Chain A
Amino acid sequence: MRKPRARSLGFGLLAAGYVFAVFWVFTRSEPVVASRPVTIRIAHWQIEKGPPDGVDAVIRRYEELNPRVKVEQVLVPGRVYNQWMRTNLVGGTGADLIEYGVWLDGLTDIPARYFEPITDEMLRPNPYNRGTALEKVPWVQTFTDGLLNQRVNAPDPGQFYAATVTEVSERLFCNRDLLRKITGSDRPPRNFAELRALFQKVADYAARTGEPIYTLAGARDNAAWLMQYLMGGAMMQSSQRNDRHGTLSLYTWDEIGLYLEGRWSYRSPEAKAGLTMMREISMSMKPGFLQSLRDAATQEFLRGDAVFIFAGTWDGTSIRSLSTFPIDVLRFPQPTRDDPVMGPYFFGAFADGGGGTAMEFYLNKQSPHKAEAIDFLHFLTSVEGNQLFTDHSGWLPSVREVKVPADIEAYKTPLDCYSFGAEYMLMGSTVSEAIYRNLYLLTDTHGSVDQFVDAIEREMPAAARADLGKEVSNRAITVRPQDVRIVANAALGWRAPQDASLQVARERLESSQTQSEALMLQLGRQLAIAGPAR
């Protein structure tokens, strides 16, 4: 009797094991060898809290929709990103989609050499927007800013190169408890005059209590963003005056050219007003802050050692998720017409972030899977994909029709202020290096506006020429290979006259090449007229 029972038990266990194995195979298991024939990689430096989760969420959904494609997210720390990108691109091992920013030091030639335009795709609707309000809208117009920044910075003005994932702005994050403790009120400053008054109150409080509290958390990055913002506002009249093209914006090459023509300088009264304000604010940051990077400023703020931190919304998720106190998100209090420093040059409210979109991804020319890479980029920037990114990252979307969660609504910059696109910090990598190198003269206790201006004006003539020269050579890198592509498209078009797309591609390429070539000649002429730096 015992034997049959044992046998039944054995069969029962076997059956249970079989059912479990079947369940596991059909629901959980992954094949030993990857069943997805195509793997693409997307690389970026946004390793703050938020974006990696956002991109992961998009990848999960994309892989559900596209079983033959695997997408790998490559996270590269910002400190090594420049070297990582350059060496991988030179070695032919770069990711398929790569984040790039025009401000990255010493990398201005990268787009022309290694990235492929995506103009044709940009002018057609994004296929993943089918069934949404953007179904018939060209891809480029589905972005909240129409990809303005990327078009402005494209190596070839007639081509589109990148798609963006998020809208960025800069905000003042306020430690509400600390503000109340120092001022007795939750009410933040509404304009720059009130902020000035607060500087004094915080200094008095620190002196009285002996606590090392400052009004603003400080670091080199945060100071640079602040200076860029203040200079953009202070120089608004000058920028408008110099807008000879009538585009209501200044391209960096134009700013450099205008400098070489003597149409603006850091010695001008409006530039000095912006620098004076920057110095004033620097005095309310921890001494020596230029030695630290943004992580240090974030830690200072999170420790409760500063009432505010001026940061990009890209730091918002980290700051808010790690803080132990309530945080208010404010727009930076602007100077008014009666401001004693900036008042005489006041033009109007100016943009804190400008509503531009960023975290731009470029297509690697050497990618073996360009079609799949573009397809993923389409999904990432579709209404569905960008909503997933927004919901999981806490970053603003870059795509229209994506719902903005209430807790980040304050990051959005409404169209209520001037945005002129003019940079007085990041005109070119050589100029930017010179500014960073001399910034301590402006922000140090023993420094001054005049010391900074004297130093930077000594370096600017050579730096501006170097950057304009780079603009010319980068354009040449873009323009030269286009000759071959133009004749190739023409030959293919004549062999297949029924394929109108080939003719359109050739016409577009010819037109954008003419634009780039003209710009190259124009910049070369400016350089020739400026002559060597003295």
Chain B
Amino acid sequence: MRGLSVYPARKFLPLLILGPLLAAGAAASADPDRAWTALADNRPQDVLRQLRPDAPSRADRLAWAAARIGAQPATDGNMREAEAVLVELEQGTDELAAEAAYLRARIYQLHLNEPDFAKAAQLYAGLAQRQPGSHWAQLGLVKLGLLKLYLLPDVSGPGADRLAAAEVLLARIQEPLLRRDLNLQIGQAGIALNQPQARFLPHLIAAEQAGGVTGNAQEDLIVQIGVLSERGGDWARAREYFEKYLAAYPLNVRAYAIRRKLAEVNHRLAQEGRP
């Protein structure tokens, strides 16, 4: 009986000793794709187990910092640890440096318990100055635009034209999809900030023409341009967008109201001799 109970343990003893060592070895030579896949899949804790902040590879250190930002609980202490790594990584001229600088700005805008919007804006602006062609600098300009539209005190006067501050940034964004996104947000902010229609409608139209707006915003945008054009007396454009809506969403619940509006607009155009 004694022999029987000991034998299996003896047999597997080398495996029991070697197993954890093999596992540890596997973790040491981490596959970067595995780390990024884990982050893309919302599993930052897996990456923190796999990588260290002083990993030899810059890409690994960036993945560690991203994981630190994403891990729960999200504390200011964790953010400071991530920032320390990002500050070191942003000392370069490659895309990785730009990515690190962008993430650092995001910490100040979004991840600290008490955000520091002015500091975030300063970091976005600095990145755009150093590496204007980088995707991260371009994306940072979109985020900077949002801050200027709604928050930053440099355009806080009661009569301040917040749209103009964002429009200046728009001119510096070369990537079409990011231009589209900022155009869309300038347009929406124009409504929220009670600006005259002529100031914001062109931005909405530009966003719609760029195409590919995600989620419900695309459907809303087509209705918006039609309705706002109708309110502004631009019957032809209103008709164009109402027809576009009915072609794309003939059965959706707004179709009844749009059909009635289209009939009204057609009547107006007929009255003006433009059937």
| In the complex, B103 has a CB within 8 A of chain A | yes
Residues of A within 8 A of B271 (CB): none
The docked-state distance in angstroms from the alpha carbon of A518 to that of B226 is 23
Query: By CB atoms of chain A within 10 A, which of B215, B249, B256 has the most?
Result: B215
A60 at the B interface (CB under 8 A): no
* Interface pair A518/B215, CB less than 8 Å apart: no
- Contacts of B213 on A, CB cut-off 8 Å? 511
- Point out the residue from B62, B139, B191, B226 that lies within 8 Å of A245, measured CB to CB: B191
| Closest A residue by C-beta to B192 | A522
Looking at B33, B106, B178, B249, which has the most chain A CB atoms within 10 Å of its CB?
Answer: B106
Would B258 and A481 count as touching, CB distance under 8 A? Answer: no
Q: Indicate if the CB atoms of A512 and B228 lie closer than 8 Å.
A: no
Assess whether A416 is interfacial by the CB under 8 Å rule: yes
Q: Beyond the given A148-B216, A245-B191, A483-B110, could you list 5 further A-B residue pairs with CB under 8 A, ordered by the A residue number?
A: A146-B252, A160-B215, A484-B70, A485-B39, A491-B36
Q: Contacts of B139 on A, CB cut-off 8 Å?
A: 510
A355 within 8 A of B: yes
A351 touching B224 in the complex, CB below 8 Å, given contacts A157-B217, A476-B110, A487-B103: no
Q: Are A480 and B111 in contact (CB under 8 A)?
A: yes
Check if A47 is an interface residue, CB within 8 A of chain B: no
Smallest CB-CB separation from A140: which chain B residue? B215
Closest 6 CB pairs of A and B: A246-B227, A488-B39, A484-B70, A151-B216, A521-B150, A488-B40
Please tell me which stretch of B9-17, B20-28, B181-189 contacts chain A, meaning at least 4 of its Cβ atoms lie within 8 angstroms of it.
B181-189
Known: A158-B217, A481-B42. Is A522-B223 also a contact (CB below 8 A)?
A: no
Contact indicator A400/B251 (Cβ below 8 Å): yes
- 28 CB contacts below 8 A, A to B, read A145-B252, A145-B253, A146-B251, A146-B252, A154-B216, A158-B214, A159-B214, A246-B228, A246-B231, A248-B257, A356-B253, A415-B259, A485-B42, A488-B40, A488-B63, A490-B135, A494-B95, A495-B33, A507-B177, A510-B181, A511-B177, A514-B146, A514-B182, A515-B185, A517-B143, A518-B185, A521-B147, A521-B149
A507-532 interface code vs B (CB 8 A; 1 in, 0 out): 11011101101100110110000000
Which of B33, B59, B70, B214 contacts A511 (CB under 8 A)? B214
Complex contact B192–A491 (CB within 8 A):
no
B142: interface (CB < 8 Å): yes
With A and B bound together, what is the CA distance between A247 and B254 in angstroms? 9
Per the 8 Å Cβ criterion, residues 474-512 of A in contact with B are 476, 479-481, 483-485, 487-492, 494-495, 507-508, 510-512
**106-155 of chain B: CB within 8 A of chain A:** 106, 110-111, 135, 139, 142-143, 146-147, 149-151
In the assembled complex, B69 has its CB within 8 A of some CB on chain A: yes
| Chain B positions within 8 Å of A485 at CB level | 39-40, 42
A246 engages B59 (CB within 8 Å): no
The CA of A418 and the CA of B259, in the complex, are separated in Å by 11
A148-B253 contact, Cβ under 8 Å, with A483-B69, A487-B66, A488-B66: yes
With A148-B252, A483-B106, A488-B66 known as contacts, the answer to whether A245 contacts B220 (CB < 8 A) is: yes
B→A interface (CB under 8 Å): 32-33, 36-37, 39-40, 42, 44, 59, 62-63, 66-67, 69-70, 74, 95, 99, 103, 106, 110-111, 135, 139, 142-143, 146-147, 149-151, 177-178, 180-182, 184-185, 188-189, 191-192, 212-217, 219-220, 223-228, 231, 249, 251-259
Q: Does A152 contact B (CB under 8 A)?
A: yes
Are A248 and B227 closer than 8 Å at their CB atoms? yes
User: Which residues on the B side are within 8 Å of A156 (C-beta)?
Assistant: 215
- Considering the complex, which residues of chain A in the window 376-432 have a beta carbon less than 8 Å from any beta carbon of chain B? 400, 415-421
Cβ of A119 within 8 Å of any chain B Cβ, yes or no, is yes
Residue of B nearest to A400 (CB): B251
Let me know if B150 and A490 touch, CB within 8 A: no
Which residues of A lie under 8 Å from residue B224 when comparing CB positions?
245-247
Chain A residues whose CB sits within 8 angstroms of the CB of B227 once the complex forms: 243, 246-248
Nearest chain A CB to B131's CB is how many angstroms away? 15
- Whether the pair B146, A521 counts as a contact (CB closer than 8 A) is yes
Q: Which residues of A line the B interface, CB within 8 A?
A: 119, 144-146, 148, 151-152, 154, 156-160, 243-249, 351, 354-356, 365, 400, 415-421, 476, 479-481, 483-485, 487-492, 494-495, 507-508, 510-512, 514-515, 517-518, 521-522, 524-525
A418 touches B256 (CB 8 A): yes
Contacts of B254 in A (CB 8 A): 148, 248-249, 419
Docked complex Cα distance between A490 and B142 (Å): 17
Tell me the bound Cα distance from A146 to B99 in angstroms: 37
Q: Which of B111, B177, B188, B223 contacts A518 (CB 8 A)?
A: B188
Q: Given that A245-B220, A514-B142 are contacting pairs, would A480 and B257 also be in contact in the complex, using a CB cutoff of 8 Å?
A: no
- Distance A130 CA – B21 CA, assembled complex (angstroms): 50
CA of A145 to CA of B223, assembled, Å: 16
Whether A157 and B216, one on each chain, are in contact in the complex, defined by CB atoms closer than 8 angstroms, is yes
Q: What chain B residues lie within 8 Å of A521 (beta carbons)?
A: 146-147, 149-151
CA distance A75 to B207 in the complex (A): 45
Tell me if A479 and B110 are in contact (CB < 8 A). yes
Could you say which residues of chain B place their CB within 8 Å of the CB of A515?
A: 181, 184-185, 214-215, 217
Bound: A419/B254 CA distance, A: 7
What residues of chain A lie closer than 8 Å to B223, measured between beta carbons?
246-248
CB distance from B144 to the nearest CB of A (A): 12
The answer to whether residues A248 and B258 also contact, given A492-B33, A522-B192 and a CB cut-off of 8 A, is: yes
Contacts of A144 in B (CB 8 A): 251
Asked if residues A492 and B37 are in contact (CB atoms below 8 Å), the reply is yes
Point out the residue from B36, B103, B252 that lies within 8 Å of A483, measured CB to CB: B103
Candidates B44, B149, B192; contact of A484 at CB < 8 Å: B44
Cα distance, A37 to B256, chains bound together (Å): 49
Q: How far is the CB of B67 from chain A (nearest CB, A)?
A: 7
Q: Which A residue's beta carbon lies closest to that of B44? A: A484
Question: A241 CB to closest chain B CB, in angstroms?
Answer: 12
Whether A151 and B228, one on each chain, are in contact in the complex, defined by CB atoms closer than 8 angstroms, is no
Task: A416 to B256: give the CA distance in the assembly, Å.
Answer: 6
A residues near B252, Cβ cutoff 8 Å: 145-146, 148
Q: CB-nearest residue of chain B relative to A257?
A: B192
Residues of A within 8 A of B151 (CB): 521, 525
B99: A residues at CB distance < 8 A: 487, 490
Measured in the bound complex, the distance between the Cα atoms of B253 and A417 in whole Å is: 9
One of B59, B142, B178, B220 near A247 (C-beta < 8 A):
B220
A351 contacts across to B, CB distance below 8 A? 253
How many Å lie between the Cα of A209 and that of B272 in the bound state?
66
Task: Please tell me which one of the listed residues A160, A247, A365 contacts residue B42 in the complex, with CB atoms under 8 A apart.
Answer: A365
For the complex, what is the distance from the CA of A489 to the CA of B36, rounded to whole Å? 7
Contact in complex: A415, B215 (CB < 8 Å)? no
A418 close to B257 (CB less than 8 A): yes
Task: List B contacts of A159 (CB < 8 A).
Answer: 214-215
Give the shortest distance, in Å, between B221 (CB) and chain A (any CB): 9
**Assembled-state Cα–Cα distance A508/B180 (Å):** 12
Closest to A117 in B: B215
Residues of B within 8 A of A421 (CB): 253
**Residue on A nearest B229 in the bound complex, by CB:** A246
